[in-house]
Amino acid sequence: MRSELKRRGRFLALLFVFALVAAACGNGGDETTATTEASTAETTTTTTEASTAETTTTTTEAPKPGEGVKVGMAYDIGGRGDKSFNDSAAAGLDRAVAELGVDATELEPTAGGEDREENLRLLAEDGNDVIFGIGFAFADSIAAAAADFPDTNFAIIDSVVDAPNVASLVFAEHEGSALVGAAAALKTQTNTIGFIGGVAGLGLIEKFQAGYEFGAKQVNPDVEILVQYLTEFPDFAGFNDPAKGKEAALAMYEAGADVVYHAAGGSGAGLFEAAKETSENTGSKVWAIGVDSDQYNTVGEEVREYILTSMLKRVDVAVFSTTENFVLHGQQSGIVVFNLEVDGVGYSTSGGFIDDITDQLEELRLKIISGELEVPSE
């Protein structure tokens, strides 16, 4: 009897430990890798001011066009409140709810992101008409879910999935980068500018670099451009290692660059620190350029004044316009590019540091939009 009890006690203890471990895994998973992969080039940020401003539109009494349309949103790791990619998507969804009157359902994955596909399927079974997968990590799961729910429309951000009911929403990051490249080349006093990429070998960040170099050379053919990547694929740490970002930036400023642009996600924080430190140590101001969202508004006050501008990637625009398109025109598939023309990418003017050159930037922008200039993407 005693031994029986003892055995049962042991079994219970084992069960308890198992539950603990399971809980821990659910919480933690391989969080670091998953997060970095998911957020690739997408940074540290809040929704841009512009988008929040647009959200507050006039509420009319007339029935909204999207009433009865159900939109499902499967965020990636971090979900609402991640100051970045997901927040930007959420802003687009909020706008769609406010302006179009659609019904929104939102799901977030576990910290490890293991249930991305499960979330998509849940949303599809729930009868949503359009389902968004936020981030290129959804590529495989959307392909699988879309095959099983042929009557549901899916949309994926930052990746291309070839299926009749999937819209692939990609951004012309190279075009936006060309504009900030021009800004850098116009602002430099030393005729040297820098580019810090997060992870080399993905193809994605090289796109930013190509555009940046192109834009800089357009306005200043002699400008020297220093390039540094933090890590190489498949090491994704480069998107999340501010310490390395800072050292790379310090080296560039030391080598004479006075404007440095980053496409390195969370590592960008190190760039801003380096700009501040260099400016204070040498007495002459050096600049940093942010990425994805208006980083002027999301970094700490102490480093804000060093952010010349930011290359904007409007995930909110992509989400809203895709929803709007569905509401007005029905099913949509294929690749949709969000470029300068549709305001899918752009640059920020917060802080007023580039007010003196916006004319030239606008000129370049119009040339790119009109097709007079074609920005290389690699």
Q: Tell the residue number behind the tokens 């509401």, with chain if given.
A: 327
- Residue 178 has phi, psi (to 5 degrees) of -60, -40
For another protein, which residue of 25, 104, 122, 337 counts as binding (CB under 8 A)? 25
Stretch that binds another protein, among 92-100, 267-275, 315-323, 331-339 (CB under 8 A): 267-275
Q: Tell me which H or E stretch contains 347.
A: strand 345-347
Binding-site member from 126, 140, 254, 374 for another protein (CB under 8 A): 254
Q: Report which DSSP code applies to 13.
A: H
- Cβ count near 241 (within 10 Å): 23
Strand pairing partners for 228? 196
Sign of CA dihedral 188, 346, 375, 239: positive
Q: What's the one-letter identity of residue 204? A: L
**Options 4-12, 249-257, 328-336, 342-350: segment touching another protein (CB under 8 A):** 249-257
d(CA 218, CA 121): 47
Q: Is 46 in the site for another protein (CB under 8 A)?
A: yes
Locate tokens 């990425």: which residue?
291
* Nearest distance in Å: CB 52, another protein: 12
Q: In whole angstroms, what is the distance from residue 190 CA to residue 132 CA? A: 45
- Of the candidates 142, 170, 223, 248, which one interacts with another protein according to CB under 8 A? 248
Output the CA–CA distances (angstroms, integers) from residue 177 to 46, 259, 261, 340, in the order listed. Answer: 20, 14, 9, 10
Non-local (6+) Cβ contacts of 51 within 8 A are 88, 91, 92, 95, 314, 316, 317
* From candidates 87, 99, 213, 316, binder to another protein by CB under 8 A: 87
Q: Residue 281 carries which side chain, given as an amino acid letter?
A: N
**How many Cα neighbours within 13 Å face the side chain of 153?**
20
83 near another protein (CB under 8 A): yes
Among 90, 180, 183, 230, binds another protein (CB under 8 A): 230
Min dist. Cβ of residue 350 to another protein (A): 15
Q: Which of 298, 310, 322, 348 binds another protein (CB under 8 A)?
A: 298
Give the footprint of another protein on residues 200-229 (CB under 8 A): 200, 226, 228-229
CA angle in degrees (0–180, nearest 5) for 159-160-161: 120
Distances in Å between the Cα of 206 and the Cα atoms of 9, 97, 195, 247, 300 are: 59, 36, 10, 20, 28
Q: What is the token pair recorded at 336?
A: 């949709």
Does 242 participate in binding another protein (rule CB under 8 A)? yes
Stretch that binds another protein, among 181-189, 240-248, 311-319, 344-352 (CB under 8 A): 240-248
Q: Is 243 in the site for another protein (CB under 8 A)?
A: yes
Q: Which of residues 302-341 bind another protein (CB under 8 A)?
A: 302-303
Q: How many residues belong to the site for another protein (CB under 8 A)?
A: 57
266: contact with another protein by CB under 8 A = yes
Among 96, 143, 182, 269, binds another protein (CB under 8 A): 269
Closest CB 238 distance from another protein, rounded Å: 9
**x/- letters, 107..146, toward another protein (CB under 8 A):** ----x-----------------------------------
User: Tokens at residue 202, please?
Assistant: 């993905």
C-beta of 337: minimal distance to another protein in Å?
Answer: 28
User: Amino acid identity, residue 227?
Assistant: V
Chain residues in the site for another protein (CB under 8 A): 21, 24-29, 31-33, 35-36, 39, 44, 46, 78-79, 81-84, 87, 111, 200, 226, 228-232, 235, 237, 240-244, 246-248, 250-252, 254-255, 266, 269-270, 272-273, 281, 298-303
